[in-house]
Structure 1
Amino acid sequence: MDLNRIDLNLLVSLDVLLAERNVTHAARRLSLSQPALSAQLRQLRELFRDPLLLPAARGMTPTARALELQGPLREMLATLSSLVAERQPFDPGTASDTFRIATTDSIQAVVCVPLIARLRSLAPGVRVALLPVAEARLAEQMGSGEVDLALVTPQAMPPSLKSRALYDETFLCLLRQGHPAAAQPLTLDTFCDLDHVLTSPAGGGFSGVVDEVLARLGRRRRVVVSINSFLLAQELVGESDLVCTVPSRLARRWSDKLNVMAPPCEVDAFSIHMGWHPRAHSDPAQRWLRDQVAEAAVGIAGRSAS
């Protein structure tokens, strides 16, 4: 392929076409007429020697070659945009950036609530979008700029990202106020006899880290409800005799509504890390955001230790 033939505008149009999969919608986003964008699509097909997008019942369907191009193309355009952008010092007092953070609902409650309070005070003009973690697409989302930060465990962190540890976490058990089992410390027998709620972020799971620990001890518990939201756990536990084992910082947030108790066996601790794309490593706004997340995490660790 002759690089001198490549018009950068064509690649920008291809990125939008692959995202929208509809010429009319893509033309609107690009502020082009539909005939002009159709003409660009013909040029792109000649350039890549592939149809790229095929007519479908609704919109257009990308070819295998188009899908192969989509991720690298978005990353390349994002990198190029960063290269040519005028580098200005970040002023939080006048900034109007939108920051996108992917994390679980438990980390949203524990980290993002104090983080957003900080941002509202220091940078009232910025906006924050909290997004669910799509592990299979996280590296692609970070590369394309769809996501700025990921707050996840090291196991969920794509190796292509830069990262730093934020805090370590353990587990505690939640039971409703007045629950018969809350009158004394939980024993292993009592714990296994109770009916449990399990939080499975992917949804539908009935076995987790607690079950792995119990299996090593030759014991089992009864998981009768599986949910994909930690925040739903407090409602279920508060209205039943179910018990739920959740991250300790989240459990302590509900200590005025529920009994918070230590599990009867040692459940492996885990850590939460912050990840970002190498392209954003030196970006002033992104560096400032990472500093604010780190400061919020320090406050969390301090409250947990007190």
Structure 2
Amino acid sequence: MSDLPETKLLQLFDVLYEVRSVTKAAGRLGQSQPTISIWLGRLRQQVGDPLFVRIPGGMTPTPRADALIGPCREILASLSRLTSTEPAFDPAIAGRRFRICMTDASHITLLPPLLERVRALAPGVRLEAAGIDGGTEQALTSRDADLAIGYLPWLGGAIARQELFEQDWVCLANPRHPRVRERLGRRRYVAEGHVSITAGTGATLLHRALTTQGIERRVVLELPGFLGLGAIIGGTDLLATLPRHIGTTLAHGNDLALWPCPLPVDQFEVAQYWHPRFDNEPGSRWLRDLVAELFGSVATAG
């Protein structure tokens, strides 16, 4: 198999086909005329064709040169794309969809401020919220999802993560609750009726804490998520134990009382997750920076 032409020979062929003069090609490429002649001789040998023949006033391509110029320019364009810097992501003019995996709690707490900021900075960008399940890791790997936000310790080590904030636990109650007025202690907590949120990794931490301490709550209602929870607590004397971020949001939005959880329950870290393949992809990096700015520990504390 013959050697492939060097890039500089392809560049010479491209320029010479355009200018039809060794002298002009030398000036365009910043080389001496003898050097250009040597390069052309090498290219002719590799291709097995003279490529250009002299005519009055310059040079004219052979039929073989006419056939090769298209593929040559395609190769040069591909090489240029290979070594060029990836264009920056301009949110003001971007028209792109970002798919974010998140829990229903994040739909209530994180999605509204994120959507507000995205609409202000990137009016042409569309967000899509997806659930978190056993396919989340594969979705991040294949880029079917750009980002996942939550407490997802089961994701594999191939997935990158950035901690956003820590969560402890609180209890929601009706502010007119007849037996919870000034404080919520352990004994009162155990005696009251409860709404149990059954889904999510956070629910697993709470269940583990209750089991470890030998506490069995009197569960009156089980819910798969937080939809309708604020209205239920506001209309009953039931309690709900949940992470602080969602608890605070529901308390403010439904005029509910918020108490520290009287039982020790492990805190956990909410983070954003992505595949390292997209560490330097401008759009993905912009989205991650925006999430960190909105929900990072400093912003949350503020």
| TM-score after normalising by structure 2 | 0.67
Give 1:245 deviation, angstroms. Answer: 0.8
| Contact 2:99/2:127, CA 8 A, preserved across alignment | yes
Alignment partner, residue 223 of structure 1: 219
Aligned-CA RMSD value:
2.6
Describe how 1:26-41 pairs up with structure 2 within 5 A: none
Quick one: which amino acid aligns to residue 200 of structure 1? T
Aligned AA for 2:115?
I
Write the distance in 2 (CA, Å) between the matches of 1:288 and 1:281: 10
**Which residue matches 1:127?**
126
1:198 and 1:227 in contact (8 A); partners too: yes
Seq. identity, %: 29
Q: Post-superposition shift, 1:126?
A: 0.3
The match for 1:279 is 277
Q: Note closer, same or farther for the CA distance 1:278–1:209 as it changes in structure 2 (3 Å cut).
A: closer
Cα distance, 1:115 vs. partner?
Answer: 1.3
1:138 to 136, 139, 164: 136
Q: Name structure 1 gaps, 5 residues minimum.
A: 1-82
CA contact (8 A) 1:211 1:220 kept: no
Instruction: Provide the C-alpha distance between the structure 1 equivalents of 2:298 and 2:231, rounded to a whole number of angstroms.
Output: 26
Conserved? CA contact 2:193–2:239, under 8 Å: yes
Q: Any idea what SS the aligned residue of 1:91 has?
A: coil
Note the C-alpha offset of 1:85. Answer: 11
283-292 or 104-113, which deviates more: 104-113
Q: 1:141, CA displacement in angstroms?
A: 1.1
Q: Does structure 2 conserve the Cα–Cα contact (< 8 Å) formed by 1:200 and 1:226?
A: yes
Match of 1:293 in 2: 291
Structure showing greater Rg: 2
**Measured at CA, do residues 94 and 188 of structure 1 come closer, stay the same or move farther in structure 2, by a change above 3 Å?**
same
The number of equivalent residue pairs is 220
**Superposed counterparts of 1:127-276, under 5 Å:** 127-134=126-133, 136-201=134-199, 208-256=204-252, 257-276=255-274
Partner SS state of residue 164, structure 2: strand
TM-score for both structures, normalised by structure 1: 0.66
Report the CA distance shift for 1:86/1:227 in structure 2 as closer, same or farther (over 3 A). farther
Distance 1:120 1:99 in 2: 13
CA distance in 2 between counterparts of 1:196 and 1:156 reads: 28
- Letter aligned with residue 287 of structure 1: R
Corresponding residue for 1:10? none
Distance 1:239 1:156 in 2: 37
**Aligned positions of 1:6-21 closer than 5 A:** none
Confirm or deny: 8 A CA contact 2:230 2:251 kept in the other structure: no
